[in-house]
Amino acid sequence: MLVKDIISIMNRLAPNYLIDSWDNSGLQIGSMEKEVKKVLISLDLSIDTVKEAIKNNIDMIITHHPFFFSSIKTISLDDIKGKIISEIIKNDITVFSAHTNLDMCEGGINDILSDKLKLSNTKPLSRFHTDKLYKISVFVPLTHSDVVREALGDNGAGFIGNYSHCTFNTKGVGTFLPSSGTNPFIGKQGVLEKVEEEKIETIVDEHILSSVISAMIEAHPYEEVAYDVYPLNNEGESYGYGRIGELSEEVTLEQFSRTVKDTLECETIRVYGDMNNKIRKVALCGGSGSSFIKDCYRNKADVYITGDIKYHDAQLALELGLSVIDAGHYGTEKHVIDYLRKYIGDNITDDIEILVHKNSVAPFKTI
Ligand SMILES: [Zn+2]
């Protein structure tokens, strides 16, 4: 497998349309065409990550945090960033990052946290993107309606909630007159034809619209396929930062804080709020989520779990009646490393070794 094949596996989990405008997820350094035998997963591209990659003959490093955010004007081998770039290039390693798209996607960092903390009825805390939906109707001769319906459904059309392959079908009569230069599947040139047909209607998400249309045309027997595509005002799936969900039963902030500390395997956490506060509705955001405190308030959360809470963030939360658990930037994001190892491992077709950066630790100690 090549780097581009691993990236396409990553993009299936964390699609590019969920990359925020300020973010720089994607290829950082290296070639898409490089063959991959060994992958290393890390939160960051630190000098320790690079040393471990070189020691283990790694071909591709996947990080959560992009290495490049702002433009670089100099690569100096006298500073750490320049040394990292130089070592990566000298050792022919490719570096790829999935950041905000891995935060927001289904199954990403915030869903991992929600699952660990057993939240139900989860939805994004702050909406970033809502899928646009389209309706396709296609006219098919009765002999081929099953095969076209199957092609639509197997390629992702007709998803409504947890139901796939949803279609509506009506029978009718199609007419056409093949003119010169045609090679009709049914009928003859110059003769008006009447055919028993079925109109198949289904719903399609904008991201797969063109591939669904291609698959539909491929499965259809006619030389010229008659179909319509309508934009819909129905709301598609929403994606965004953080999650808000519910616990199965109310607990105190004291009890919930201990659950968070144990479940997220944090050495320490910081808790803001009265320890007797009742907690049922939980908001969370892996990493630095202080900018979503007002979203927690609007969503009527009882507590907010995130990292990097500063003095004034905590003050704002408490003024809004919101308890906060700061489980650390690292403490809330480290869980994605093992998750990615399993996800990539389950999706690769070649024998590729996947290592995780074991020395990945929070860059500070609490004593
Ligand atoms: Zn982060």
Each residue's pLDDT tens digit, 26-70: 999 999 999 999 999 999 999 999 999 999 999 999 999 999 988
As a whole number of angstroms, the distance between CA 69 and CA 89 comes to 19
What's the 74 CA to ligand 1 centre distance in angstroms?
Answer: 25
Share of the chain above pLDDT 70, in %: 98
333 annotated ligand-binding residue: yes
Domains of the chain, by residue range, sit at: 3-102+334-356, 106-129+240-327, 132-231
More confident residue, 350 or 52: 52
What's the 333 CA to ligand 1 centre distance in angstroms?
Answer: 6
pLDDT of residue 366: 77
Q: What is the pLDDT confidence band of residue 360, given thresholds at 50, 70 and 90?
A: low
pLDDT of residue 221: 95
pLDDT of residue 355: 95
Do 56 and 138 contact (CB within 8 A), yes or no? no
What's the 19 CA to ligand 1 centre distance in angstroms?
Answer: 14
- Domain 3-102+334-356 sits in CATH at 3.40.1390.30
For the cut 90, the answer to whether the pLDDT of residue 180 exceeds it is: no
pLDDT of residue 54: 97
Mean pLDDT of the chain: 95
pLDDT of residue 235: 86
pLDDT of residue 228: 97
What's the 102 CA to ligand 1 centre distance in angstroms?
Answer: 10
Average pLDDT for 161-173:
94
Lowest mean pLDDT among 17-21, 29-33, 174-178, 315-319: 174-178
329 annotated ligand-binding residue: yes
As a whole number of angstroms, the distance between CA 260 and CA 239 comes to 24
For the cut 90, the answer to whether the pLDDT of residue 78 exceeds it is: yes
pLDDT of residue 362: 67
The C-alpha angle 115, 116, 118, rounded to 5 degrees, equals 60
CATH architecture designation of domain 106-129+240-327:
3-Layer(aba) Sandwich (3.40)
Distances (CA, A) of 192 to 151, 195, 220, 334: 29, 10, 21, 67
Distances (CA, A) of 211 to 105, 199, 365, 367: 21, 20, 50, 55
Asked if 106-129+240-327 and 132-231 have one fold, the answer is no
What's the 286 CA to ligand 1 centre distance in angstroms?
Answer: 7
Q: Which tokens is 92 given?
A: 């022919």
- Domain 132-231 sits in CATH at 3.30.70.120
Q: What is the pLDDT confidence band of residue 72, given thresholds at 50, 70 and 90?
A: confident
What's the 330 CA to ligand 1 centre distance in angstroms?
Answer: 7
pLDDT of residue 332: 96
Per-residue pLDDT of 209-268, as tens digits, reads: 999 999 999 999 999 999 999 999 998 889 999 999 999 999 999 999 999 999 999 999
What's the 113 CA to ligand 1 centre distance in angstroms?
Answer: 14
For the cut 90, the answer to whether the pLDDT of residue 184 exceeds it is: no
For the cut 80, the answer to whether the pLDDT of residue 359 exceeds it is: no
Q: What is the pLDDT confidence band of residue 361, given thresholds at 50, 70 and 90?
A: low
207 annotated ligand-binding residue: no
What's the 329 CA to ligand 1 centre distance in angstroms?
Answer: 6
| 3-state SS class at 87 | helix
326 annotated ligand-binding residue: no
What's the 130 CA to ligand 1 centre distance in angstroms?
Answer: 23
For the cut 90, the answer to whether the pLDDT of residue 309 exceeds it is: yes
What's the 287 CA to ligand 1 centre distance in angstroms?
Answer: 4
